[in-house]
Structure formats: C-alpha cells, structure tokens
C-alpha cells in the first residue's frame, strides 16, 4: 500500500478549490496541511530527508488510524514531531496573505444597495483590525471611498487613520474595476488621473505611490494596456482572468512599455484553507526560488471580504512549525518583493483573453451607451479646457 493510498484513506483528497471542503478538527487539519507541505519539499532535488521523514510520519498515523478507527490530537502531535527537522526548510518560503472584498458595483442591484454593501463591509474590516493587530486590508475602487465620505464621514476618518498606519491599502488605480475591452484609451487614462487626484486630496496618499493596477474580474485585457498604465505611472498589475499557467511575468506592449504582472495562482474570491500552504513551494520554485506566493482571500460580489474564521485560521497557521511562513500583507509589499527578481520572469507580448467569448454580443444597448457617453465626455472636457 503506497503512502498516497494511506493518506487517501485517512483523508479523501480534494482536487481543487471548487471541491466541497469537509472540515476536520484543528489538529487534524494542521497535520495534513503540514504533510502537504512536506510532500512538496520531498519533490525538490534536496528532498531525500523530507521523503524519508514523510514515510515515517504517514506510517505512524496510518497505524494509529487502522488501530483505533480515528486519529487523536496526540497522534497528530506525535506525527508532527517526526516532521519537525524539516521546519527550517519550510519556513524559507512565505505565503503573502492579502485580504480584500470584491464588490461588484451594480451587477444585480441598485446604487442604494451598493452604498449599504460598502458601508457594512468597511465597518466590519475596521472592527476586525481592532480585534487582530496583525490584520491588513486592501480595497480597490475609489468610488467606494467616495460613498463612505458622503454617507458616513466618521467611518471615512477611521479609514484615513488606518491608511496612515499602513494597515489599510488602496489597491489599484481606478475609480471602479472597469471592463478592459469596451472603454477607450482616454477613459482608462481618466480612471488613473481622477483616482490619483481623489486619493491625494481625500486620503493623503502620494500620487507617486499609487503605482499598481488591480482588475481581477475583468473579462480580458487589450495588449496596449501596459502602454496606458505606464503613461499613468503604473508599474504593477494584478489580474485573475485571461491567462493560464503563467503566474508572474513582464507584460509588454507593442511600444516596449511593460508592467510587472501577477496572475492569481488560485482564486481571488476565496476563504483561507490549509491546503493552500502546499502550493507555496512549487510556486516559488517555478521562478527559481523567489521569496513567496501571493494568496488573496475574502469572498465577495455582494460585499463581505475576509471573515474572522479566515483571520483566525491564518493566526493559527503562523504557529504551525512545518509550514511556510504566513504573513498578513499588502499588494505593495508583495510587488516590492517581486521587483528584486524582475529579470527572472518571462516576457509576454499579447492580449490577455478573450475570456467568456461572446459575452458582449448581446449587450448592444450597453455598448452604444458607453460610446455616446465617451463622446460627450470628450466634448465636455474640451469645452472645459477652452
């Protein structure tokens, strides 16, 4: 009976993040999370010791499982002791955990409901910052902050304080997470300009420090986007759709302008699960041993974001000895780490997408309205300049 057969019998394998997640008691989750990490250490060229200790730990657990029909906390703790010599090797890697709330501004609801979603979500995030001193939060879309300033000035002042402390990060450089196929170049450029102006005036954020673009849910991206972003002082880009198999790369426009880009390696709308720890080592080794993997967490569409359960799981995982280092982080911190390795990453010169082919074809009224609006805005801007 192989090691994998024994593991499958003790805990059925889940293939991906869509599979139902059957929760176990904490120590059970912990030991099997650590075993997943050691499995990856065993695949490295230096993985002989990891493979040997892993066999020993799994054999011990399986013996207890077949003898008693279940595993106790004590059994899991003993197995962990077997794996403890591998702790330094695991801790060399880091999982950068970035919290956010994905808020679709007007998908299936009206403006009034969006305001309620934003206020409720932001209040909960601030409450959790009071509970968990390490917790950091990153939120995109300048329009959400404008809502808070208008409808709850006291809440807005609290956010400003957290921004000053470095615990609340504005993610991206746009008013909303817009579509990236229909809008004109002028429209995308205005997003950056207006957003930088608003954040500088209202939140005291230096315009030069707003240097990343955050569009996880846009259905594809034009190949000239790096040119437009560069013109607005944007150096970094995060997305989740339009590309498979490459997670960190330098996206280059036909002009030669480029942005250092992260393509979400798992999913941007996710809770925290122990199994994600086992993704960190292969992700880092894919690029020659970089410092860490990004893990964006927090559910959304209709507000929400990270839960206390997510944060508590991360706090617990920080204490797991045979696992990567777990860090509450921000996009700014993660891109700063990647910048050290820029020359290692491949260059892509292509369109990202298309995603959901044909999803625009039925929206002729929306496209017409968009073009009329862009035309009128250009006229208005010209008259204002005159």
CATH 3.20.110.10 domain range(s) in the chain: 94-348
What is residue 22's predicted lDDT score, i.e. its pLDDT?
A: 57
Parts of the chain with a pLDDT under 70: 12-23
What is residue 12's predicted lDDT score, i.e. its pLDDT?
A: 57
What tens digit of pLDDT does each residue of 212-267 get? 999 999 988 999 999 999 999 999 999 999 999 999 999 999 999 999 999 999 99
Per DSSP (E only), the strands in the chain are 94-99, 137-139, 168-170, 212-215, 236-239, 248-252, 258-263, 292-297, 325-328, 347-348
Residue 378's contacts (CB-CB under 8 Å, 6 or more residues apart) are 186
C-alpha distances (whole Å) from 298 to each of 71, 99, 218, 306, 307 are: 31, 6, 18, 4, 7
What tens digit of pLDDT does each residue of 283-295 get? 999 999 999 999 9
Three-state SS annotation for 160-199: HHHHHHCCEEECCCCCCCCCCCCCCHHHHHHHHHHHHHHH
What is residue 108's predicted lDDT score, i.e. its pLDDT?
A: 82
What is residue 86's predicted lDDT score, i.e. its pLDDT?
A: 98
User: Which helix (H) or strand (E) segment is 377 a member of?
Assistant: helix 364-385
In contact, 365 and 246? CB cutoff 8 Å: no
What is residue 15's predicted lDDT score, i.e. its pLDDT?
A: 44
Distance (Å, whole) CA 99 – CA 246? 22
Superfamily the domain 94-348 falls into:
Glycoside hydrolase 38, N terminal domain (3.20.110.10)
Distance (Å, whole) CA 261 – CA 246? 10
Distance (Å, whole) CA 33 – CA 19? 16
Total Cβ atoms within 10 A of residue 88:
10
């Amino acid at each position: 009976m192989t090691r994998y057969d024994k593991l499958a019998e003790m805990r059925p394998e889940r293939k991906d993040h869509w599979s139902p997640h059957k929760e176990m008691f904490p120590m059970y989750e912990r030991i099997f999370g650590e075993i997943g990490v050691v499995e990856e250490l065993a695949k490295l060229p230096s993985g002989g010791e990891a493979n040997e200790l892993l066999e020993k730990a799994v054999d011990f657990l399986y013996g207890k499982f077949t003898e008693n029909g279940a595993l106790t906390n004590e059994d899991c703790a003993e197995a962990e002791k077997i794996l403890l010599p591998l702790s330094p090797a695991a801790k060399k890697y880091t999982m950068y955990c970035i919290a956010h709330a994905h808020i679709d501004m007007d998908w299936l609801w009206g403006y009034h409901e969006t305001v309620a979603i934003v206020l409720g979500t932001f209040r909960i995030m601030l409450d959790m910052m009071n509970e968990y001193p390490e917790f950091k939060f990153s939120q995109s879309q300048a329009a959400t902050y404008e809502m808070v300033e208008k409808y709850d000035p006291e809440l807005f002042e609290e956010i400003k304080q957290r921004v000053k402390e470095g615990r609340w990060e504005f993610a991206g450089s746009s008013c909303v997470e817009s579509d990236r196929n229909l809008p004109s170049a002028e429209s995308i450029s205005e997003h950056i300009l207006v957003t930088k102006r608003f954040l500088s005036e209202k939140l005291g954020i230096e315009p030069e420090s707003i240097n990343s673009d955050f569009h996880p849910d846009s259905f594809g991206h034009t190949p000239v986007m790096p040119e437009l972003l560069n013109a607005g002082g944007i150096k970094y880009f995060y997305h989740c759709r339009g590309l498979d198999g490459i997670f960190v790369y330098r996206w280059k426009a036909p002009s030669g302008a480029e942005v250092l880009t992260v393509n979400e390696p798992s999913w941007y709308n996710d809770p925290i699960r122990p199994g994600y720890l086992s993704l960190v080592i292969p992700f880092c080794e894919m690029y020659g041993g970089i410092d860490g993997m990004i893990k964006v967490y927090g559910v959304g569409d209709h507000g929400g974001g990270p839960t206390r359960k997510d944060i508590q799981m991360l706090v617990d995982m920080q204490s797991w000895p045979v696992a990567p280092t777990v860090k509450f982080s921000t996009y700014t911190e993660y891109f700063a780490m990647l910048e050290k390795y820029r020359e290692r990453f491949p260059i892509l010169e292509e369109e990202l997408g298309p995603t959901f082919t044909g999803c625009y074809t039925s929206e002729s009224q929306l496209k017409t309205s968009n073009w009329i609006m862009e035309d009128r805005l250009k006229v208005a801007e010209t008259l204002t300049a005159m």
